[in-house]
């Protein structure tokens, strides 16, 4: 039924409401080139890049995608990531994206791990151009991890400590971590450290947006 409704009701931009597509060209332009951002927990560990500041269109699009069921935004978010991957300094050809994991509850509510879906859409864009980007969803958040919203940096670190797990699976020795929003940097730092101690080098973190 919902599929039929989707066909009958034209998509509207999740940011500005203009009819036509899940994200209009004007709002899609919020995803710019990569800017390196600085966060305490990732300093000296891994370079972190974001496509936009977490405000205005970027914030509206991410919130609509994550919290308001606009899963139809996944292709446009994936395209935004695909457009910048080649800008990564020293990026080897055919990078492997490791999505930062979602909480299990959030994954259920949001219809599956939302960052993984963006990574898969990004890989599709590259595949359509004959380039190879792989996705290795090898990280999981264990039970007991609270939503990070409203937690201080120290609370976030404690919240994550020992709760991220590395699954057995195909994963190359060099990867790019993909996240939606960078706030304190504690989550991506914890992911990069866990991968690092398991012999997987994180060459960069790419996020759709960063606060501040
Ligand atoms: Zn728009």
> Hey, where are the domains in the chain?
30-210
Structure confidence at residue 91 (pLDDT) = 56
CA–centroid distance for 44 within its chain: 21
- Going by pLDDT thresholds of 50, 70 and 90, the confidence category of residue 212 is confident
Per the CB < 8 A criterion, the answer to whether 111 and 69 are in contact is: yes
Tell me: the pLDDT tens digits for 124-167?
999 998 888 999 999 998 766 566 667 676 666 666 667 889 99
Predicted confidence (pLDDT) at residue 38 exceeds the cutoff of 60: yes
Average pLDDT, the chain: 87
CA–centroid distance for 160 within its chain: 18
pTM of the model: 0.88
What is the whole-number distance in angstroms between the Cα of residue 54 and the centre of ligand 1?
A: 16
What is the whole-number distance in angstroms between the Cα of residue 142 and the centre of ligand 1?
A: 36
What is the whole-number distance in angstroms between the Cα of residue 17 and the centre of ligand 1?
A: 6
Other CB atoms within a 10 A radius of the CB of residue 53 amount to: 16
What is the whole-number distance in angstroms between the Cα of residue 23 and the centre of ligand 1?
A: 5
What is the whole-number distance in angstroms between the Cα of residue 21 and the centre of ligand 1?
A: 8
20-23 own/partner pairs: CB under 8 Å, 24+ apart: 21/76, 22/70, 22/72, 22/73, 22/75, 22/76, 23/61, 23/73, 23/76
**What is the CATH number assigned to the segment(s) 30-210?**
3.40.50
Structure confidence at residue 135 (pLDDT) = 96
Tell me: the pLDDT tens digits for 51-78?
999 999 999 999 999 988 899 999 999 9
What is the whole-number distance in angstroms between the Cα of residue 14 and the centre of ligand 1?
A: 7
What is the whole-number distance in angstroms between the Cα of residue 20 and the centre of ligand 1?
A: 9
């Amino acid at each position: 039924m919902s599929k039929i409704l989707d066909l009958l009701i034209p998509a509207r931009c999740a940011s500005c409401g203009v009819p036509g597509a899940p994200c209009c060209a004007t709002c899609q332009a919020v995803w710019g080139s990569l800017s390196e951002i600085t966060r305490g927990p990732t300093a000296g560990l891994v370079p972190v890049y974001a496509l936009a500041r977490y405000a205005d269109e970027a914030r509206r699009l991410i919130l609509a995608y994550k919290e308001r069921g606009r899963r139809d935004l996944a292709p446009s978010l994936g395209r935004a990531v695909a457009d910048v991957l080649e800008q990564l300094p020293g990026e080897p050809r055919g990078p492997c994206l490791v999505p930062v994991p979602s909480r299990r509850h959030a994954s259920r509510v949001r219809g599956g791990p939302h960052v993984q879906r963006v990574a898969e859409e990004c890989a599709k864009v590259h595949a359509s151009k004959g380039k190879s980007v792989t996705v290795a969803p090898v990280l999981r958040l264990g039970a007991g991890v609270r939503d990070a919203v409203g937690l201080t940096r120290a609370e976030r670190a404690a919240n994550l400590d020992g709760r991220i797990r590395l699954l057995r699976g195909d994963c190359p020795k060099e990867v790019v971590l993909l996240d939606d929003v960078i706030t304190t940097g504690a989550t991506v730092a914890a992911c990069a450290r866990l991968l690092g101690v398991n012999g997987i080098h994180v060459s960069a973190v790419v996020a759709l947006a960063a606060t501040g």
